[in-house]
């Protein structure tokens, strides 16, 4: 189902999210505290409570999990509004890793896992992380390089592995750990207070307004019981694909919001600032940057909307979500880069949020599959017929 509300009711909801973001969330962004993760976490938690009292919590989650139950299509508009602020996706609980973890567990969790992990996570009582990536020679872009192991021990497993860039690992109550068991790649839930689970360090990155950081984690003789297995043993790659397809689309939607905010700030500057006897907005090269940015944003919205509608229809989005991820991740970076260029030195300062928007958007060309890896997969599928014997 693509619409859960009438067009009028949805327009009202979207306007409500927009005014919440403009009037409550954006004013709480203190740029000089963008690197203070403790302050960011406290601010996001407070904003999340405020969003919930306005009935704006967890747009995509089912009402049974305390969410708004929006369709994927409806999420496009709501996430774009939320994404205009660095703090918006956290405030509405539509940010990774919690949101995609909830959605994946909602499909895969056993009744015990639902009660113990999914429900408290959906309510915001605990945090989660998803631990797949490993330092070389382990898994990065190539899923076949997974090194973490889970070997049978009585009725449970012993997990050994070295992970890094695990978002929120330092604050999570549990991790979904991807490891290789006898039947193949599998998912396991590991409590982060398990003596075999250790956060080694937080890996500092260029990303501002981080609630959680990205941690390096060691799993050493980490014993878990039979209840730790998530979904089916040996089907962990399919589970990861399921989690990633939705996560990618959510990133596209919210980053369209952030890029469009960057362009608005740059346009406001260009409308006032003068050079060579004219306002910047009157110079054709500035106009070209603005036009190209709007073309990129328009195309990004349409491509995200199309993938969302396919998801609502229950269609496979493997190919389309790859194309959307490549296009949107590169388009929003072009838009933010032009916004910085148009704003001159002010653009690269921290007096305005533009340089931070650029830093927030840049990693999207790498995580959830680097552009090159998606292009390679898209081309293989496109060539599949022509190359068939």
Ligand X SMILES: Cc1cc2nc3c(=O)[nH]c(=O)nc-3n(C[C@H](O)[C@H](O)[C@H](O)COP(=O)(O)OP(=O)(O)OC[C@H]3O[C@@H](n4cnc5c(N)ncnc54)[C@H](O)[C@@H]3O)c2cc1C
Site residues for ligand X, window 153-172 (CB under 6 A)? 165-167
Q: How far is the CB of 142 from ligand X (least distance, A)?
A: 6
97 makes contact with ligand X (CB under 6 A): yes
CA distance 229 to 105: 12
Considering the complex, state which of residue 242 and residue 346 has its C-beta at the smaller distance from ligand X.
242
Q: Which of 66, 120, 140, 156 binds ligand X (CB under 6 A)?
A: 140
Ranges within 277-336 binding ligand X (CB under 6 A)? none
Residue 348: half-sphere exposure toward Cβ, Cα within 13 Å:
4
* Shortest distance in whole angstroms from residue 350 CB to ligand X: 20
| Closest alpha carbon to 251 in 215, 207, 188, 291 | 207
Work out which of 141, 241, 287, 349 binds ligand X, going by CB under 6 A: 141
Is 133 a binding residue for ligand X by CB under 6 A? The answer is yes
> Any contact of residue 10 with ligand X (CB under 6 A)?
no
Stretch that binds ligand X, among 40-48, 69-77, 337-345, 365-373 (CB under 6 A): 365-373
Contact with ligand X (CB under 6 A) among 105, 131, 247, 354: 131
Residue with the CB atom nearest ligand X in the bound state: 140
d(CA 257, CA 162): 35
**Residue 213 Ramachandran class (φ > 0 left, ψ -120 to 50 alpha, else beta):** left
What is the nearest approach in angstroms of ligand X to the Cβ of residue 242?
A: 15
Residue written as token pair 């389309």: 320
Kindly determine how many residues on this chain lie close enough to bind ligand X according to the rule CB under 6 A: 20
Residues 339 and 245: their CA atoms lie apart, in Å, by 29
What stretches of the chain adopt beta strand conformation (E)? 128-131, 149-153, 156-167, 174-181, 184-191, 197-203, 214-224, 229-230, 274-275, 278-279
- CB–CB of 320/349 below 8 Å? no
- Among residues 104, 207, 224, 304, which is the contact residue for ligand X, using CB under 6 A? 207
Residue 214 is a binding residue for ligand X (CB under 6 A): yes
The rounded distance, in Å, linking the Cα atoms of 247 and 319 is 15
Between 149 and 341, name the residue whose CB sits nearer to ligand X.
Answer: 149
């Amino acid at each position: 189902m693509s619409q859960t509300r009438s067009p009028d009711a949805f327009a009202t909801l979207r306007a409500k999210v927009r005014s919440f973001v403009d009037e409550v969330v954006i004013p709480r962004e203190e740029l000089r505290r963008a690197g203070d993760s403790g302050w960011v976490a406290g601010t996001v938690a407070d904003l999340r409570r405020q969003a919930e009292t306005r009935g704006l919590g967890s747009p995509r989650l089912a009402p049974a999990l305390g969410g708004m139950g929006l369709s994927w299509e409806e999420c496009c508009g709501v996430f774009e509004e939320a994404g205009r602020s660095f703090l918006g996706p956290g405030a509405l609980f539509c940010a990774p890793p919690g949101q995609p973890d909830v959605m994946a567990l909602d499909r895969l969790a056993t009744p015990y896992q639902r009660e113990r992990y999914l429900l408290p996570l959906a309510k915001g009582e605990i945090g989660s992380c998803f631990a797949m990536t490993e330092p070389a020679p382990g898994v990065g872009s190539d899923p076949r390089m997974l090194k973490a192991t889970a070997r049978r021990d009585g009725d449970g497993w012993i997990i050994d592995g070295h992970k890094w860039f695990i978002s929120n690992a330092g604050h999570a109550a549990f991790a979904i750990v991807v490891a290789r068991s006898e039947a193949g790649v599998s998912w396991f839930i590991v409590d982060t207070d398990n003596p075999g689970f250790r956060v080694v360090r937080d890996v500092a990155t260029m990303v501002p307004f981080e609630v959680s950081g990205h941690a390096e984690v060691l799993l050493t003789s980490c014993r878990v019981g039979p209840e730790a297995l998530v979904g089916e043993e040996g089907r962990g790659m399919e589970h990861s694909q399921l989690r990633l397809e939705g996560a990618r689309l959510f990133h596209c939607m919210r980053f369209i919001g952030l890029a469009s905010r960057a362009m608005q700030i740059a346009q406001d500057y260009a409308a006032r600032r003068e050079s060579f006897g004219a306002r910047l907005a009157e110079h054709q090269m500035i106009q070209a940057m603005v036009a190209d940015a709007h073309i990129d944003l328009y195309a990004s919205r349409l491509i995200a909307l199309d993938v969302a509608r396919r998801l609502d229809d229950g269609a496979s989005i493997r190919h389309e979500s790859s194309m959307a991820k490549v296009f949107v991740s590169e388009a929003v970076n072009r838009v933010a880069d032009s916004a910085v260029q148009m704003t001159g030195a002010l653009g690269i300062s921290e007096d305005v949020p533009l340089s931070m928007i650029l830093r927030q958007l840049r990693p999207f060309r790498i995580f959830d599959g680097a552009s090159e890896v998606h292009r390679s997969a898209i081309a293989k599928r496109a060539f599949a017929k022509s190359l068939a014997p």
